[in-house]
């Protein structure tokens, strides 16, 4: 009873946030505890743990397990949107950071890698690809000869504007289909509080 697994959608892509042990199974509701809401995949996992390790305090899974899964699902969805513009999510993040920094859309690789929480080696690679694609330029910094000035090209700016709109569209749609405005605000408030403890 514990070992029947539902082979879900033929999984693809990277596995960023499956974390505390994701599982897919339709709500078999193995433990018949009266639950006020439709059981989801995370409830199934928690139930499974309760059966084999009833001593475990699985409380945090109800929050973090879902956060991991939502992050992954939505991440995959927006990634598909960005792909229509010919960039990956990581590459989009670079363009978006430059875009929202305002004119003249210029930052240093150092600022970008710090902002995007990326090693400098990783940043070099992303800039290489984006420069090759003609979406940004690298110029020497006049004030500091160690440093560079990375600037969005017109094409890069245009792409960033299109992609950010597309990405927000997907998010807006999913969010709106699940929660009303008040709930979404509640959720944002609770998440801000939680994020505060994380940063």
Partner DNA sequence: AGTAAATAGCTTACTCGCTAGCTACTTAGT
Partner DNA sequence: ACTAAGTAGCTAGCGAGTAAGCTATTTACT
Q: Is the distance from CB of 96 to CB of 164 less than 8 angstroms?
A: yes
Q: How far is the CB of 190 from a copy of itself (least distance, A)?
A: 4
User: How far are the Cα atoms of 24, 25, 133, 176 from residue 8, in angstroms, in the given order?
Assistant: 6, 8, 37, 25
Binding of residue 147 to DNA (CB under 7 A): yes
Nearer to DNA, 31 or 110 (CB): 110
Residues in region 70-129 near a copy of itself by CB under 8 A: 70-75, 78, 89-90, 92-93, 96-97, 99-103, 106-107, 110-111, 113-119, 122
Among 146, 192, 193, 198, binds DNA (CB under 7 A): 146
Task: Please name the helix (run of DSSP H) or strand (run of DSSP E) that holds residue 148, with its range, or none.
Answer: strand 148-152
The Cα 91–Cα 152 span in angstroms is: 12
Residue 30 interacts with which of a copy of itself, DNA, none, CB < 5 to 8 Å by class: none
- State the binding partner of 69 from a copy of itself, DNA, none, CB within 5 to 8 A by kind: a copy of itself
Q: Is residue 81 a contact partner of residue 167, using CB atoms and an 8 Å limit?
A: yes
Least gap, CB of 134 to a copy of itself (angstroms): 20
Question: For residues 94 and 152, what is the distance between their CA atoms, to the nearest angstrom?
Answer: 10
- From 5, 14, 193, 198, residue interacting with DNA (rule: CB under 7 A): 14
Which one, of 147, 162, 140, lies nearest residue 95 by Cα? 162
Q: What's the closest the beta carbon of residue 132 comes to a copy of itself, in angstroms?
A: 20
Q: Return the residues of window 30-89 that contact DNA according to CB under 7 A.
A: 88
Pick the closer one to a copy of itself by CB: 83 or 114. 114
**Which one of 116-124, 154-162, 167-175, 182-190 is the stretch in contact with DNA (CB under 7 A)?**
116-124
Q: What angle do CA 161, 123, 84 make, to 5 degrees?
A: 35
| 3-state secondary structure at position 179 | coil
3-class SS of residue 149:
strand
Q: Does the footprint of a copy of itself cover residue 143 (CB under 8 A)?
A: no
């Amino acid at each position: 009873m514990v070992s029947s697994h539902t082979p879900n959608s033929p999984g693809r892509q990277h596995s960023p946030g499956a974390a505390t042990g994701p599982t897919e199974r339709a709500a078999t509701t193995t433990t018949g505890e009266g639950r006020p809401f439709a059981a989801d995949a995370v409830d199934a996992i928690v139930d499974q743990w309760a059966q084999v390790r009833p001593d475990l305090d699985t409380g945090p899974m109800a929050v973090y397990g879902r956060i991991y899964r939502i992050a992954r699902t939505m991440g995959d969805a927006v990634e598909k949107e960005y792909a229509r513009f010919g960039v990956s999510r990581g590459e989009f993040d670079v363009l978006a950071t430059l875009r929202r920094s305002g004119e003249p859309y210029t930052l240093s690789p150092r600022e970008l890698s710090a902002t995007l929480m990326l090693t400098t080696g990783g940043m070099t690679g992303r800039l290489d690809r984006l420069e090759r694609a003609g979406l940004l330029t690298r110029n020497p910094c006049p004030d500091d000869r160690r440093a560079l000035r990375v600037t969005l090209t017109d094409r890069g700016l245009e792409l960033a504007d299109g992609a950010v709109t597309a990405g927000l569209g997907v998010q807006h749609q999913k969010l709106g289909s699940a929660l009303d405005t008040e709930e979404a605000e509640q959720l944002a408030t609770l998440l801000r509080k939680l994020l505060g403890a994380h940063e």
